[in-house]
RNA sequence: GGGGUCGUAGUUAAGCCUGGUUAUAACGCCGGCCUGUCACGCCGGAGGCCGCGAGUUCAAUUCUCGUCGACCCCGCCA
């Protein structure tokens, strides 16, 4: 007892097991992570870790209760399934009974849940492991858990409303705090133009303001060129902070490291705009900048000019840098945001073609048959839920008609025979009275991590992998016996 | 594939920048003492290929390069 107030008088005792000195002490400072992972069972005895996993347990229950009470049925879908093109790299499992053939572990149960809609179970959910063979990050593991949801006869609004109820229930369970106002929604285009990313951290303001129009007739070479070439000139205004000349130079340097051609700063002091490019700025330009940005003395404006998507991308990163460096981020806040109206397609530099931004079963806004050939502007009925700059969920309304789905494959340059080979079962099912349907999936581990205020997804996973995808406790992955390889008719041609 | 941080007793750290005595501390471990413990106390002790391998140097824990491992980031993650 921590209080030391209770004493036990024993009449008899028996030692059930003994304990060697532990490789690290549980009540002292945390040992380094590799030791914690090697002896995960000892690490997990610590009260902080016990708390994490009891909370995780409660969160499963909250999700199951919420979805069950909303008429959802829980299913299990196969882990040994078929590799699908597009998307993340699959984990592969060789088949012994079918030599030379391979299963793939699912990146998500996407097609199965659509099939379940066609099977007449109008509301499906599953708390399911997903597998993606990509490089790891602080918030990414090769196997992770999703709360996967699919509903029939719904549109975007229905899915968002239902999902919002779930996230609020989880929030309440984890934060022990009553729930807040509706989660705001923003269109993808607006989010990108304001924050330069599709997952903005709204714990601080600092949106970008576009100044391109102001510089229509500028004499400053870089800006002039940008305007002529159809680029964008955008600004961030840092208020109430004092920056030295060195701070400003550092800021310029940072953006260059991020890939910017350059960054201009303008400072308002004594009602004057100071800047390295002040001499190129005409009076009316200065006053337009001043008015548009409502500048006060002491404000610092950072201006970048480049191709539009480049400015957005780099200023988005720079915004985060400023937020972090100048303490603008309110760490105590939880700022949710629905990002809606994603583009249907995006151009893949690697493949030199347009690919589905979400996945190839995502419904466009309207009929695909109205597509006029402009891959860049067509929107999808796809949405993401963002929390403090991290994507914690996403989904879409699906295509539910065979002809539309085939058209989609055509636009993605996927040959008909390939489509049939890969997804024939889905296409066939779509022809047998498939209802309109859609859904989403939450990243369960990420939600737990965020709401518990932890920095790593590994902290909320009982037996996580290291950044190189190994398990320090079991030693996986490992070589297998020659006999096993023989049974599978697999030969290893090159070892590490 | 690329960039970065870290690696010193069982554990957590200091020392390294600026190379040179016996590599320091706390906790843990071992032994002794203590008849009311409960973060016990007191006394004593053991414990180190300073991740590994090269190089520079009269001399490397310290400087350089490589390598292995953990972590962070870029690419990648529909």
Distance CA A407, CA A404 (A): 5
User: In Å, what is the separation between the CA of A480 and the C1' of B20?
Assistant: 51
Please check whether strand B approaches the CB of A33 to within 7 Å.
yes
Q: Does position A1 have pLDDT exceeding 60, yes or no?
A: no
For chain A, the average pLDDT equals 93
* pLDDT tens-place string over residues A234-250: 999 999 898 888 889 88
Lowest mean pLDDT among A150-159, A242-251, A450-459: A242-251
Residue A3 has pLDDT above 70, yes or no: no
Q: Which has more pLDDT, A240 or A149?
A: A149
Nearest nucleotide to A134, CA against C1' atoms = B77
Does A23 contact strand B, using a CB cutoff of 7 Å? Answer: yes
Query: What does the H/E/C string look like for chain A?
Result: CCCCCCCCCCCCCCCCCCCCCCCCCCCCCCCCHHHHHHCHHHHCCCHHHHHHHHHHHHHHHHHHHHHHHCCCEECCCCCCECCCCCCCCCCEEECCCCCCCEEECCCCCHHHHHHHHHCCCCEEEEEEEEECCCCCECCECCEEEEEEEEEECCCHHHHHHHHHHHHHHHHHHHHCCCCCCCCCEEEHHHHHHHHCCCCCCCCCCCCCEECHHHHCCCCCHHHHHHHHCCCEEEEEEECCCCCCHHHHHHHHHHHHHCCCCCCEEEEEECCEEECCCHHHCCHHHHHHHHHHCCCCCCCEEEEEEECHHHHHHHHHHHHHHHHHHCCCCCCCCCCEEEEECCECEEEECCCCEEEECCCCCECECCCHHHCCCCCCCCEECEEEEEECCEEEEEEEEECCCHHHHHHHHHHCCCCHHHHHHHHHHHHHHHCCCCCCEEEEEEEHHHHHHHHCCCCCHHHHCCCCCCCCCCCCCCCCCCCCCHHHHHHHCCCCCCCC
Q: Where is average pLDDT lowest: A4-18, A218-232, A266-280, A450-464? A: A4-18
Q: Cβ of residue A271 near strand B, that is under 7 Å?
A: no
Give strand B nucleotides closer than 7 A to any protein Cβ.
Answer: 1, 10-13, 27-30, 36-39, 69-78
With a cut of 90, say whether residue A110 has pLDDT above it.
Answer: yes
What long-range pairs does A166-170 form, CB within 8 A, spacing at least 24? A166/A63, A166/A66, A166/A67, A166/A442, A167/A336, A167/A385, A167/A392, A167/A393, A167/A442, A167/A447, A169/A62, A169/A63, A169/A65, A169/A66, A170/A59, A170/A62, A170/A63, A170/A447, A170/A451
Is the pLDDT confidence value at A257 over 90?
Answer: no
Instruction: Supply the pLDDT for residue A109.
Output: 96
pLDDT confidence band for A144 (50 / 70 / 90)? very high
Provide mean pLDDT across the span A167-175: 96
Rounded CA–C1' distance between A480 and B51, in angstroms: 28
Mean pLDDT of A219-236: 93
What is the spatial distance between Cα A32 and Cα A158, in angstroms, rounded to a whole number?
Answer: 46
Query: Is A434 near strand B, with its CB below 7 A from some atom of it?
Result: no
Residues A344-353 pLDDT 10s: 999 887 888 8
Which positions 75-134 on chain A have a beta carbon less than 7 angstroms from any atom of strand B?
86-89, 107-108, 110, 132, 134
Q: Which of residues 446-485 of A touch strand B (CB under 7 A)?
A: 455-456, 458, 466-468, 470, 472
Structure confidence at residue A5 as a pLDDT band (50, 70, 90): low
A336-340 vs A185-187, strand pairing mode: parallel
Average pLDDT value for residue range A159-177: 96
pLDDT in tens, A388-445: 999 999 999 999 999 999 999 999 998 999 899 889 999 999 999 999 999 999 999 9
Nearest C-alpha neighbor of A439 from the set A194, A115, A4, A181: A115
For residue A355, say whether its CB is under 7 Å from any atom of strand B.
yes
Percent of chain A with pLDDT over 70: 98
pLDDT level of residue A161 (50, 70, 90 thresholds): very high
Nucleotide B21 C1' to residue A348 CA (A): 65
CA of A3 to C1' of B36 (A): 16
CA of A32 to C1' of B63 (A): 27
Cβ atoms A185, A338 nearer than 8 A: yes
The nucleotide lying nearest A138 (C-alpha to C1') is B72
The gap between A7 CA and B32 C1' (Å) is 28
Q: What is the CATH number of domain A43-184+383-483?
A: 3.30.930.10
Using the CB atom, is residue A257 less than 7 Å from strand B?
Answer: no
Q: At what angle do helices A156-175 and A444-451 cross, to 10 degrees?
A: 40
- CA distances A251 to A207, A247, A264, A318, Å, are 17, 6, 10, 8
Across A165-183, average pLDDT: 92
* pLDDT value at residue A344: 95
pLDDT number for residue A16: 85
CATH-assigned architecture of domain A204-325 = 2-Layer Sandwich (3.30)
| Residues in Cβ contact with A122 at an 8 Å cutoff, skipping those fewer than 6 apart | A71, A151, A152, A153, A435
Q: How far is the CA of A23 from the C1' of B9 (A)?
A: 13
pLDDT of residue A496: 58
Query: Can you tell me which residue has its alpha carbon closest to the C1' of nucleotide B78?
Result: A87
Which nucleotide lies closest to A7 by the C1' atom and the CA atom? Answer: B38
Taking the CA of residue A459 and the C1' sugar atom of nucleotide B7, their distance in angstroms comes to 22
Give the domain ranges of chain A. Answer: 43-184+383-483, 204-325
Which nucleotide, over all strands, has the C1' atom closest to the CA of A106? B78
Closest CA to A186 of A335, A356, A344: A335
Bridge partners, A301 (sequence order):
A237, A266
Q: What percent of chain A has pLDDT over 90?
A: 78
Lookup: nucleotide whose C1' is closest to A132 CA: B77
């Amino acid at each position: 007892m921590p209080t030391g107030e209770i004493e036990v008088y024993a009449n008899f005792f028996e030692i059930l097991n003994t304990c060697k000195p532990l490789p690290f002490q549980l009540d002292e400072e945390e040992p380094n992570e590799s030791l914690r992972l090697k002896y995960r069972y000892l690490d997990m005895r610590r009260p902080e870790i016990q708390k994490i996993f009891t909370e995780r347990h409660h969160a499963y229950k909250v999700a199951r209760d919420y979805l069950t009470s909303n008429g959802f049925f829980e299913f299990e879908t196969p882990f040994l399934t078929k590799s699908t093109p597009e998307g993340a790299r699959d984990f592969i499992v060789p088949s012994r009974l079918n030599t030379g053939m391979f299963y793939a572990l699912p990146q998500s149960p996407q097609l199965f849940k659509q099939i379940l809609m066609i099977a007449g179970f109008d509301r499906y959910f599953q708390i399911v492991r997903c597998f993606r063979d990509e490089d790891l990050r602080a918030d990414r593991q090769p196997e992770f858990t999703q709360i996967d949801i699919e509903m029939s006869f719904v549109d975007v609004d229905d899915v968002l409303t239902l999902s919002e109820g779930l996230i609020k229930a989880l929030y309440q369970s984890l934060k022990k705090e009553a729930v807040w106002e509706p989660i705001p929604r923003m269109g993808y285009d607006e989010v990108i133009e304001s924050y330069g990313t599709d997952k903005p951290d709204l714990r601080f303001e600092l949106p970008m303001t576009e100044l391109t129009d102001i510089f229509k007739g500028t004499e400053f070479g870089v800006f002039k060129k940008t305007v002529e070439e159809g680029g964008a000139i955008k600004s961030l205004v840092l208020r109430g902070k004092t920056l030295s000349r060195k701070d400003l130079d550092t800021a310029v340097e940072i953006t260059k490291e991020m890939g910017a051609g350059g960054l201009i700063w303008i400072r308002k002091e004594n009602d004057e705009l100071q800047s390295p490019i002040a001499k190129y700025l005409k009076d009316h330009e200065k006053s337009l900048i001043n008015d548009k940005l409502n500048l006060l003395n002491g404000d610092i404006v950072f201006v970048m000019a480049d191709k539009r998507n480049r400015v957005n991308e780099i200023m988005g990163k720079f915004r985060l840098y400023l937020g972090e460096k100048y303490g603008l981020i309110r760490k105590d806040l939880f700022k949710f945001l629905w990002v809606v109206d994603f583009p249907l397609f995006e151009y893949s530099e690697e493949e030199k073609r347009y690919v589905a931004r979400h996945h190839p079963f995502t419904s466009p806004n309207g009929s695909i048959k109205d597509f006029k050939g402009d891959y860049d502007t067509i929107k999808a009925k796809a949405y993401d839920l963002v929390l403090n700059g991290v994507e914690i969920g996403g989904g879409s309304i699906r295509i539910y008609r065979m002809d539309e789905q085939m058209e989609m494959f055509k636009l993605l340059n996927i040959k008909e025979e390939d489509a049939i080979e890969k997804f024939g079962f889905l296409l066939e099912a779509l022809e047998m009275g498939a209802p309109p349907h859609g859904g989403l999936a939450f990243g369960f581990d990420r939600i737990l991590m965020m709401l518990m205020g932890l920095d790593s997804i590994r902290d909320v996973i009982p037996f996580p992998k290291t950044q190189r995808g190994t398990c320090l406790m079991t030693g996986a992955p490992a070589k297998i016996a020659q006999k096993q390889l023989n049974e599978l008719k697999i030969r290893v041609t090159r070892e590490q």
